[in-house]
Amino acid sequence: MKKINEFFSHVNDKYRNHIVLAMFLFVCVFMYGMSNDEVVIPQPVASETSEDAIEFSDDSLSQEALAKTEPVVEAKKVHAYLLKIGDDFVVALKDEKDLKEALDYAKSKYLNVDADTADIALVKDERNPLVISPVLKLNKAVEKKVLRTSTGEQVGGTDFVEYPEVQWPEPEAIQEEIIVDAHFATDVIVVEAYVDEDEIEDVKTAKELITKENEKEKKYVVEPGDYPEVIAQKNEMPTEKLYDLNPGLRERDSYIQIGEELTVMVPEPELSVALTEELVYDEPIDFETDYEPNPDKYVGHETVKSEGIPGVKRVTASVEMINGSEVSREIISEETITEPVNQVVLRGSKPLPSRGATGVFISPLESYVVTSPYGYRWGRLHKGIDISAGYGATVMASDGGVVTFAGWSGSYGNTVIIDHGDGCTTRYAHNSELLVSAGQYVSQYEAIALLGSTGNSTGPHVHFEIMFDGVTVDPANYVNF
């Protein structure tokens, strides 16, 4: 105020009123400017609970406001491109060339098809030219069809994984693969700004930061043709890790159900690329089974009259992939190429004889080849006769009686023992499947098992024994083999 008074003392009274008015106007304009800048001056607020009755409403804001009013000598700022990915990732790059190179690197890594499929365009915001949106644009590849052979071998494009030990249905035979769309699945934006020089990353570091992957557990739904190695490869993880994450998987790896959920580790990079493909592929159509009665066979005997043939349908599906992993599949259309041919099974309709022993034995197989007779071989007694037929053929009760054992019996494999009374029993070994259980009464000719090769056995056959008081006899003396 002293200075102002001095100032006034130097001016004429004549102009004093003008100067006072001018100063008043200046203060008004200054205050108006402050309010426009939205500088918030912290207001003391009353606290209802605290003894300290006065608090500032927002401490950080008051400091920010303070910082604005006090000029600070700042470090040298340089122009940069701030690449923001998602909510919490920012990297500063020195120029557009580095920015493009870093984005291109991530694109090539996650597109999972030819890198030429899509290019990155840097689109400037219409309202704010300092804001740039990197956009993926499909190239000529939109028209490009990636053809694969029916075995899944690919002519070009993504790597094909060969499936070991694949059971029906076969892996999809892909006929056409058309890329329909590609875009960044994460919010990506670039802002031009001035930053401290040392905040700028070189392009190599930026590439590493963008593609740095944090692993995350995810559920994977088993698809036709999947096998632990394939699932691991699809999810870019070691097979060992898949086994670790899914207890019990190692023991049953041949029996993974389609549609079953497994836990996998998926890399979660900062930047995600989504790709939509239209796929045309062939899938099998399951055949059904027709049954025909067969009066020549006993009830319970089934034989295949004619084999079924699966049909083929051509499926068009829209598949969305994120960083190369399928996230959704929508079937657009299905067209039957060949109808399936139903298998025809003959079902025995002849009534079984009444239960109980007849005292006469029949061969447990209807048609067979004797592969090893009863007697000594290599110095040991072969206690039964081996007769062979096709895998799954019906094994019949040699005579009526009661089942005393039906189950696994060491080197005999799946075994049935029938007691025919008067100390006479018969044994049927190496079956693939048992059709009876202990305590069950069976008739002669009744189907008791399906032929197999379980236990100590080579090739499908039934090892058939006849015993009297537990002592084996040569079945050929009782049955005309």
Footprint of Zn ion on this chain (CB under 5 A)? 384, 386, 463
Q: Cβ 429 to Zn ion, closest distance in Å?
A: 7
Q: Name which of 190 and 462 has its Cβ closer to Zn ion.
A: 462
Q: Name which of 182 and 393 has its Cβ closer to Zn ion.
A: 393
Q: Cβ 375 to Zn ion, closest distance in Å?
A: 11
Q: Name which of 357 and 466 has its Cβ closer to Zn ion.
A: 466
Q: Are strands 385-388 and 369-372 parallel, antiparallel or unpaired?
A: antiparallel
Q: Cβ 382 to Zn ion, closest distance in Å?
A: 6
The single-letter DSSP state of residue 86 is T
Beta bridge partners of 325: 322
Q: Cβ 474 to Zn ion, closest distance in Å?
A: 13
First to last CA, the chain: 132
CB 339 within 8 A of CB 311: yes
Q: Cβ 344 to Zn ion, closest distance in Å?
A: 33
In which region does residue 324 sit, left (phi positive, over 0), alpha (psi from -120 to 50) or beta (all else)? Answer: left
Q: Name which of 182 and 385 has its Cβ closer to Zn ion.
A: 385
Closest CA to 152 of 230, 229, 254: 230
Q: Name which of 148 and 430 has its Cβ closer to Zn ion.
A: 430
DSSP, collapsed to helix, strand or coil, labels residue 271 as coil
* Closest residue by beta carbon to Zn ion: 463
What single letter denotes the amino acid at residue 195? V
CA distance 231 to 221: 10
CA distance 429 to 384: 10
Q: Cβ 223 to Zn ion, closest distance in Å?
A: 43
Q: Name which of 256 and 434 has its Cβ closer to Zn ion.
A: 434
Q: Cβ 463 to Zn ion, closest distance in Å?
A: 3
CA 232 to centroid of chain Cα atoms: 9
Q: Name which of 386 and 399 has its Cβ closer to Zn ion.
A: 386
CA distance 334 to 256: 26
Q: Name which of 210 and 395 has its Cβ closer to Zn ion.
A: 395
User: Where does residue 410 rank: exposed (0-12), middle (13-18), buried (19+ CB within 10 A)?
Assistant: exposed
CA distance 349 to 353: 12
Beta bridge partners of 275: 182, 321
DSSP states of 186-241: S-EEEEEEEEEGGGBPPHHHHHHHHH-EEEEEEEEE--TT--HHHHHHHTTS-HHH
Q: Cβ 380 to Zn ion, closest distance in Å?
A: 11
CA distance 122 to 136: 9
Q: Name which of 441 and 478 has its Cβ closer to Zn ion.
A: 478
User: Where does residue 430 rank: exposed (0-12), middle (13-18), buried (19+ CB within 10 A)?
Assistant: buried
CA distance 232 to 252: 16
Q: Name which of 281 and 464 has its Cβ closer to Zn ion.
A: 464
Q: Cβ 372 to Zn ion, closest distance in Å?
A: 6
Q: Are strands 188-196 and 131-138 parallel, antiparallel or unpaired?
A: antiparallel
Q: Name which of 384 and 401 has its Cβ closer to Zn ion.
A: 384
Q: Cβ 390 to Zn ion, closest distance in Å?
A: 18
Q: Cβ 384 to Zn ion, closest distance in Å?
A: 5
